[in-house]
A and B are shown apart, each in its own frame.
Chain A
Amino acid sequence: MSRTWTIVKREFLATTRTKGFILGTLFGPAILAAWILLPALFADSGGTRQVVVIDGTRTGLGQAVAEQLSHDSEDLAFSVRVVAPAAGTADSVRAAMAARAAAGEIDGYVWLPPGLPAGESASYEARHATNMREVGTVRSAVDDAVRQARLRAAGIDPSTLSEALKPTPFEAREVDVEGQGAAASGEAMVMVAILAVFVIYFVILLYGNNVLRGVREEKENRVVEIVLSSIRAEQLMAGKVFGIGGACLLQVAIWVAVAALVSAFGEDIVRSLGGQVPTIPAIPFSSAFVYVAFFAGGFFLYASIYAALGSLATSGQDAQNMQFAAMLPLMVAFFMAFGVMNDPEGPLAVAGSLIPFTSLIVVPLRAILGAIPWTQTLLAAVLLALTCWATLWIAGRVYRVTILATGQRPSLRRLWRWVRTA
């Protein structure tokens, strides 16, 4: 064990002392911070739109649209002027407004044609007609104004109707399978679950490749031979997987710590910048434990596969193909997560939980969503642990018989023969 520990120490230090690790550790939280801050910063960039409403209906609809625009918008402000053109002059007024918009004097104009109440189409010609928020605000203002006009024409008071149609408050909340009752809203939970799943996927991919590259370098520069004269190949492989795994956990722990600090102290900063702070729902300790356990188990499962594949690779191109082969089941697990989110207790979710190559993502996801019975978690954990053990064993043997092999890669049949007799 002490020799394995020597390898663990070396791999941990070799990984954490690289520029890549330091930059990754710094940029991870920076990306997280940007994820929260940037939308807040960009949200403020709307400014005040100078808009002219050309009311071709001459029924006061233009004024109604202007009123809707001035109180509909929150952070996107409109300064509206209403023009009611004399009969026969609408086209020339529109042309004049189009010219002013092109010259930058106004941001755009809304054309309300005479047949609007009867169903004719209104239009908005503007300098920022691709700005979905701006166009959406104008459309709903016109829509509301026309609807109210129609109601009044039918003898119905719009305020009475809007009171009657006031939406009933409704919120979707996840219920914990254990019956403890989760407090967070479903949407926020899904956001957290997506983030959590993405972290597992991304980190395993990143560090798995690290393991593969490390093994290949050791094989290429022949240092492996002197190391193997002192310890068994299985010890070297285990030391590598656990050493790099430790570096990976350290990085994730730093990210989590920074995220915790940001959520504790960063809220005021974000608000002061005018942004919105996402409400992060509290994750029960049991779910967090399941997350960490399956993350670690999954990491060791995939890292040992990457190590075995690295020992098989005989060239850079070969290593890239190997990398892709190892990525496939991980990608399946990642995409499976989206199906599982829609139906966290359905057959896909159950199957994904019991297959060890996907359970590392599916089980933590269901645990965060509070949609997995403890019996299934336990069964999945046992299956993952057994597969981990078997994979480490097989990978250790593959590693032993292939790490010194050069030249052509052995066929699968020959490899299997080697592994059995090693």
Chain B
Amino acid sequence: MSSPAIEIRGLRKEYGDTVAVDDLDLVVPRGSTYALLGPNGSGKTTTIRTLLRIQEPDAGEVRVLGQKPGPEVRDRIGYLPEERGLYPRMKVRDMLTFLAELKGLRPRESRARIDGWLERVGLAERADDPVQGLSKGMQQKLQFIAAVVHEPEIVILDEPFSGLDPINQQALREILGEIRQAERTILFSTHIIEHAERLCDHVCILSRGRSVVDGELAQVKREHGGRHVGLTLDPWTLEAVAAVRAAPEAGRVHEDGHAIELTLADGADPRALLSRLVHAGVGLTRFEVVEPSLQQVFIERVGTKPLEEGALV
């Protein structure tokens, strides 16, 4: 059996008095699309930087493709950092040629691939322009090309969707779908749960540097299933919503127009909730025990919404 794409054991990293990553274990299987979720400051970027050896861990072991991350392994990884940056005065094609060469691709080998990618993302006409003349979104596309042009076995993307408009977000999802079909491993971090839910088959949720959820997406949902109820009010009235919220069986309640999703309180029976609502005269056209959304799992385990600000990094 081949080794996992990425294996992290007991990883710890401190910045001064702040612990960014605390005793983290993580296994990313080969060929998986793995989402690293967490609020800002939960340790996503630090985890990624240490597995790329951009930063050294204070403790713990990291193995990539079965090896310690050294020069040889680095060539087999593509990386899109969260904080984007390119040499502003370099020309677009020269910039990509340079970054490809750092991954071991000679200029004569990379030329056709770079031109193909520039064509695909609509930047072919800007190939000889300096990078500083491009918009932020265009620069992000360049960085994405740099992460995949050498056809790496593992693609690591730190917040790949931030800064992209909806059309380009869709284009990026399509490209990631192709990479996934080619059975290459994708590890990406995001705090936009919707993207993770659409793309990933594995997920790890980080909170304060620790993993609070880790595993296959379906398994994670199953583990958190049976505790979530979806219902639709008809008619929708303030009194009906208040009755749902006041029910002792209801824990967290999330309203979305006429539809409501709620988490059951500890030990509560969904049938007792249904009976209470019917007796209270709440009009219902739907009442079902549902699999939780990733958003619900996140809120349940982290205690906050993903976009809330955290501490550092």
Contact = CB atoms under 8 A, between A and B. Distances in A.
Interface of A: 2-3, 6-7, 10, 14, 218, 221-232, 400-401, 404, 414, 421-422
A253 to B, nearest CB: 25
Interface string B10-34: 0000001000000000000000000
B74 A221 contact: no
B83 to A, nearest CB: 4
B85 A6 contact: no
6 contacts: A3-B101, A6-B98, A221-B86, A222-B84, A229-B81, A230-B103
Interface stretch (B50-58, B232-240, B241-249): B50-58
Nearest to B98: A10
A231 B99 CA distance: 11
A197 B56 CA distance: 42
Given A226-B146, A229-B81, A422-B56, A6 B87 contact: no
B83 A14 contact: no
A226 B87 contact: no
Contacts of B77: 229
Name which of A223, A421, A422 has the most chain B CB atoms within 10 A of its CB: A223
Contacts of B71: 3, 231-232
Name which of B79, B85, B88, B90 has the most chain A CB atoms within 10 A of its CB: B85
Given A218-B85, A222-B81, 9 more contacts: A2-B104, A3-B101, A7-B102, A10-B87, A223-B87, A225-B85, A226-B85, A226-B86, A400-B56
B40 to A, nearest CB: 15
B89 interface: yes
Interface string B73-112: 0110101010111111110000000110111100000000
Nearest to B89: A14
Contacts of B56: 400-401, 421-422
Given A10-B98, A404-B55, A422-B56, A222 B85 contact: yes
Contact of A6 (B16, B90, B102, B143): B102
Given A3-B102, A404-B49, A228 B87 contact: no
A229 B54 contact: yes
A422 B53 CA distance: 11
A224 to B, nearest CB: 7
Nearest to A229: B79
A174 B43 CA distance: 68
Contacts of A10: 87, 98
Name which of B75, B101, B103, B143 has the most chain A CB atoms within 10 A of its CB: B101
B291 to A, nearest CB: 37
B84 to A, nearest CB: 7
Contacts of A404: 49, 54-55
B89 A225 contact: no
Nearest to A226: B81
Contact of A230 (B83, B85, B86, B102): B102
A229 B52 contact: yes
Contacts of B99: 226-227, 230
A30 B87 CA distance: 32
A227 B98 CA distance: 10
Contacts of B52: 228-229
Contacts of A232: 53, 71
A224 B84 CA distance: 10
A223 B85 contact: yes
A103 to B, nearest CB: 62
A421 B88 CA distance: 34
B93 to A, nearest CB: 14
Interface string B261-301: 00000000000000000000000000000000000000000
A221 B85 contact: yes
Contacts of A226: 79, 81, 85-86, 99, 143, 146
Given A223-B86, A404-B54, A230 B98 contact: no
B69 to A, nearest CB: 10
A231 B102 contact: yes
A226 B157 CA distance: 11
Nearest to A13: B94
Q: Which 7 A-B pairs have the closest CB atoms?
A: A222-B85, A230-B102, A223-B85, A229-B79, A222-B83, A225-B81, A221-B85
Contacts of A414: 16
A224 B54 CA distance: 10
A204 to B, nearest CB: 24
A404 to B, nearest CB: 7
A401 B74 CA distance: 19
A379 B142 CA distance: 51
Contacts of A230: 74-75, 99, 102-103
Nearest to B156: A229
A14 B54 contact: no
A217 B101 CA distance: 21
Contacts of B55: 404
Interface string B153-189: 0000000000000000000000000000000000000
Contact of B88 (A221, A228, A231, A401): A221
Contacts of B84: 222
Name which of A225, A414, A421, A422 has the most chain B CB atoms within 10 A of its CB: A225
Contacts of B81: 222, 225-226, 229
A229 B74 contact: yes
Contacts of A6: 98, 101-102
Contacts of B90: 14
A372 B79 CA distance: 54
Contacts of B88: 221
A188 to B, nearest CB: 44
A145 B90 CA distance: 74
Nearest to A225: B81
Contacts of A224: 85
A10 B95 CA distance: 10
Nearest to B70: A232
Contacts of A401: 56
A80 to B, nearest CB: 66
A14 B87 contact: yes
A325 B74 CA distance: 36
Contacts of A3: 71, 101-102, 104
Nearest to A221: B85
Contacts of A400: 56
